[in-house]
Structure 1
Amino acid sequence: MHKCIKMVVFTVLVVLSLQQIAFANEETKRPPKPTEGIESSDPNHGSSTDSDNESVQRASGLFYNYYCSIDNTGSDLYLEGSTVANYLSDQVKLTLYLQIWDGSQWIDVQSWPFTQYNSKSVTEGANTSFQHGNYYRTRAVHYIKYGTQTETQNSTSSYIYVD
């Protein structure tokens, strides 16, 4: 009987130690951080307003302001952007791009174009799925047409890691 109890205790200890090893192997190691762009201070939200040179973009000419952002909602990624003109314009455009870091550069994965006519602004968003274990950010192209004048600006959000 005493030998049987020792065997059961030994077996339980072996099983428990193997489970700890199995759980340790399941932990995902975060890939190296991107060498381009700015890391967001908020793990679930990145914005073009995070950097000093792109904070709530304000430009002279046709643009009043512009920005883009990315949010991890837990179930998907939500990208948002805005293009705001100084004047009621013939065309105001916003194109959002989801970018993923491939280990050496940012790659456009998907895009969403939005256009408003006879307007001062366009503010839109899009939901998309993600793969765990990657860095993501939003890139946006902002465009305004006012009579014969056209102007384009670009913005890029800070990046987030999706665990």
Structure 2
Amino acid sequence: MSLLLFICRKVSKIISNLEELDTFVLTSRVKIWMFLINRKKGDVMSKVRSSKRMASTLAVSVLLSLSLAGGAYADSATDIAPGALTTPPPVEMNLNSSFNLLANKYLINYYSTISKVNSTQVSLNGFTGAGQAVDTIGINFVLQRWTGSAWIDTGSAYENGSNKTSLSGIKNFSVQTGYYYRGKTIHWINENGTYEEATYYTNSILAEQ
């Protein structure tokens, strides 16, 4: 009986120790899980705070850039160059040139430039190119003056030819000092009843002494 009692006590103690061990392990696991959960929450909140800070910084940067750009545009729009009677015209691009060429069958190239001859004259130089010899080919030249708010036509001329693959032309126009001028050229081709045309604008120049 004493031996049996001794064995029972040992077994009971072992079971008690195992229960304590299980409790310790369970408690440890809970602590570890809580630690991981809190750390993940902290990481998420940190990322959220970081994202908010980045978004705020980006927004401020964009607003500042727009403000500076707007200010620069306003300054450039109101500045009058020495010798000019108006503010400078806005810069315009010939954005449709490539798209027009893709849609054309015969008209494959065109452009024009403006240059100063003297204080009272400018020159428009234009070119029209075809992919083959065509029935008729031409350039319509239009000189435009900037009023300070809009472009108005002040002169025109034309150049044309027959049975040619290309055509070049130069036209001189009289100008008034103190104003900005640009060239508007219409390049056209007529081949076997098919008519194609495209418009090109030069940069602007100031007529000055």
Normalising by structure 1, we get a TM-score of 0.68
Q: Is the 8 A contact 1:90 1:147 kept in 2?
A: yes
Q: Deviations over 1:12-53 (max 9, x none)?
A: xxxxxxxxxxxxxxx745521124x44xxxxxxxxxxxx473
Q: Which runs of 5+ in 1 are unaligned?
A: 1-26, 39-50
Amino acid at match of 2:101: A
1:113 aligns with 2:113: no
1:70 aligns with 2:114: yes
- Structure having the higher helix fraction is 2
Partners in 2 of 1:112 and 1:32 — Cα distance?
27
Q: Which runs of 5+ in 2 are unaligned?
A: 1-81
1:33 aligns with 2:77: no
Runs of 4+ in 1 over 6 A off after TM superposition: 54-58
The corresponding residue for 2:176 is: 131
Q: How does 1:41-80 map to 2 (within 5 A)?
A: 51=93, 53=95, 59-60=101-102, 61-75=105-119, 76-80=121-125
1:144 aligns with 2:189: yes
Partners in 1 of 2:108 and 2:171 — Cα distance?
23
Partners in 2 of 1:128 and 1:29 — Cα distance?
19
Q: By how many angstroms is 1:148 displaced?
A: 2.0
Amino acid at match of 2:113: S
Amino acid at match of 1:87: Q
Amino acid at match of 1:63: L
1:94 aligns with 2:149: no
Q: By how many angstroms is 1:55 displaced?
A: 7.3
Partners in 2 of 1:57 and 1:73 — Cα distance?
33
Partners in 1 of 2:180 and 2:108 — Cα distance?
30
Q: Deviations over 1:77-106 (max 9, x none)?
A: 111111111111001010011110112211
Partners in 2 of 1:94 and 1:28 — Cα distance?
32
Q: Is the 8 A contact 2:124 2:141 kept in 1?
A: yes
Partners in 2 of 1:137 and 1:57 — Cα distance?
23
Compare relative contact order (CA 8 Å, sep 6+) and give the higher one, 1 or 2: 1
Q: Percent identity?
A: 27
Q: By how many angstroms is 1:115 displaced?
A: 1.1
Partners in 2 of 1:82 and 1:146 — Cα distance?
18
**Alpha carbons of 1:92 and 1:103: their partners in 2 closer, same or farther (altered >3 Å)?**
same
Q: By how many angstroms is 1:138 displaced?
A: 0.2
